[in-house]
Homo-oligomer: A and B are copies of this chain.
Amino acid sequence: MTMPPEIDPETPPPGTPADVRQAALALLAGRDQATLSTLVASSAEDAAAVGGWPYPSLVLVAMDGAGRPLLLLSELALHTRNLRQDGRAALLFEDTGGLENPLTGPRLSVMGRAEPLAGEEAEAARALYLERHPSAALYADFPDFRFWRLDIAQAHLVAGFGRIHWLAGGDLKP
């Protein structure tokens, strides 16, 4: 199998072109929702025979000032139980709605470790998140809800059909 040059580790791109970085930042800043991918918790209490399986779910997202996605998750939700067991997570941001062929639109997968926030960090996340998603005020203070933050280690941009770029987390600081 031949690797396309964009993702061939033997010939990594010499740097992230400005337009690639801009396309990625635009998706992070502009999308209210994303698909969260987690690993299904394999704890004995799970009846599902899908432990370790990748699991996609819908989330609302805000961004903090350092370019890290913020989530507000219920401890009762499957994705949160997954993250409690294994913090490895990813988010897909895509802007393909309304396109005749969605594969021509840009999408960004960001991968990193998710962690729950507490204290002042949770307060700061709360302010940013509720500014972006005012309706979340209805449940943000429910006792089972927590703010989480994804620290992006790496990102994968598909800028359109076959236009593929890897980015380091550091490339996505605003």
| A interface residues with partner B (beta carbon < 8 Å) | 1-4, 7, 9, 12, 32-33, 35-40, 45-50, 52-58, 60, 75-78, 81, 84, 88-92, 94, 96-97, 100-103, 107, 109, 111, 135, 144, 153-154, 156, 158, 164, 166
Provide a sorted-by-A list of 9 A–B residue pairs whose CB atoms are within 8 angstroms: A9-B48, A35-B92, A36-B56, A39-B54, A54-B90, A56-B92, A57-B92, A58-B94, A100-B135
Copies of this protein chain in the complex: 2
Does A58 contact B107, Cβ atoms closer than 8 Å?
yes
Instruction: Give the complex CA separation of A100 and B113 in angstroms.
Output: 29
Instruction: Give the complex CA separation of A54 and B164 in angstroms.
Output: 18
Instruction: Give the complex CA separation of A3 and B81 in angstroms.
Output: 10
Apart from the given pairs A33-B96, A50-B153, A54-B111, 11 other A-B contacts in the complex at a CB distance below 8 Å: A2-B76, A9-B45, A12-B47, A32-B102, A37-B56, A39-B39, A52-B88, A56-B109, A57-B92, A57-B107, A58-B96
Instruction: Give the complex CA separation of A90 and B50 in angstroms.
Output: 10
Does A9 contact B46, Cβ atoms closer than 8 Å?
yes
Selected contact of A3 from candidates B45, B52, B53, B107, CB within 8 Å: B45
Residues on B with beta carbons closer than 8 Å to the beta carbon of A39: 39, 54
